[in-house]
Structure 1
Amino acid sequence: MSSQIKISEGMSAGELRSWARHCGNGRATARAYAIANALDGLSRGEAARLAGMDRQALRDAVTRYNVEGVTGLFDRPKGRRPEWLSESEQATLAAVIFKGPKPEVDGVCSWTREALAIWISAKFGKTLHPGSLSRILRRMGMSRQKARPVHPKKDTKAQERFEKRGSAIR
């Protein structure tokens, strides 16, 4: 391997193996053992085979190890797809949830995931399954629990009279 690509002398093979034992990441450990095997003088193919990888994977690991040290042996973060709702749309959704529905406008007296999915479809033109909406709400720090529904035409004075005197029928 030394004729193909040089391995930096930052750590000896024994130090690299010791680091690999305490690393806790299986893929980084395998890369460290492969590099340690190559430092001990094994051929690139044999060092990679003993660590369970291809020669090209070992070459890539050595290149990253030479530049970044042992931190280069860890996997890079993977790309993620963008959020289904943008930041401004999530802020609008949170404001609507906290404000509560208007029965005459929204057609519901309490927000459910299904009702919110319909509202999002009408407002933003994006269709969501209620389960997906549940994940979005959790990421926003909300739960799917809701307060008891309140009838829009409730009579608070009648409730107070009832609580003071009890049942009207005696």
Structure 2
Amino acid sequence: MLAIRTDLASSAGLRRRAKKEPNRRAALRMLAIANALEGMSQADAARVVGIERQSLCDAINRFNAEGATGLYGHPKGHRRPVLSEGEEAALIARILRGPDPERRSVQMGYSA
């Protein structure tokens, strides 16, 4: 059983915040933590709000580390851009400028 920090919020405070929360997942996490703070087992607290026990454990760990902001979804891992912003801007400008007819001949149509 994970210990939940009580210095950050009370169960009543978490319930009030969950009522006003537009992010459904964060609200469910708040309600599950509030249930656990009121003495429910973590398995029951998770089941009552419809989340997995492991999800509640993860939410408790994030709540203990980051407070209520830890209950919001974190961005998923995305591939880092290959080009920097400056390189990307230069590439876009080059594409929009088009080919340089002085350096290469531009063929129009198809050749057989």
The answer, yes or no, to whether TM exceeds 0.5 is yes
The corresponding residue for 1:59 is: 57
The corresponding residue for 2:14 is: 16
Which range moved further: 68-77 or 95-104?
95-104
Letter in 1 for 2:40: L
Select the residue among 1, 6, 13 that pairs with 2:3: 6
Distance 1:36 1:16 in 2: 6
Q: Alignment identity in percent?
A: 44
Displacement over 6 Å in runs of 4+: none
Distance 1:108 1:101 in 2: 11
The corresponding residue for 2:44 is: 46
Select the residue among 75, 78, 86 that pairs with 1:77: 75
Letter in 2 for 1:5: L
Distance 2:99 2:13 in 1: 63
Aligned residues: 105
Shift of 1:93: 2.1
TM-score scaled by structure 1? 0.54
**Greater length-normalized contact order (CA 8 Å, ≥ 6 residues apart):** 2
Contact in 2 for aligned 1:102/1:108 (Cα 8 Å): no
Q: What does residue range 152-163 of structure 1 map to in structure 2 within 5 Å?
A: none
Distance 1:76 1:94 in 2: 31
Distance 2:77 2:40 in 1: 35
The corresponding residue for 1:138 is: none
Distance 1:82 1:106 in 2: 36
Letter in 1 for 2:54: Q
User: Over residues 107-155 of structure 1, what are the superposed CA-to-partner deviations in whole Å (9 max), with x where a residue is unaligned?
Assistant: 268xxxxxxxxxxxxxxxxxxxxxxxxxxxxxxxxxxxxxxxxxxxxxx
Letter in 2 for 1:82: R
Give SS of 2:21's match: coil
Distance 2:64 2:105 in 1: 61
Superposition RMSD on alpha carbons, in Å? 2.3
2:106 pairs with 1:107: yes
Shift of 1:90: 2.5
Structure 2 unmatched runs, 5+:
none
Select the residue among 64, 87, 90 that pairs with 2:88: 90
TM-score scaled by structure 2? 0.77
Distance 1:22 1:108 in 2: 63
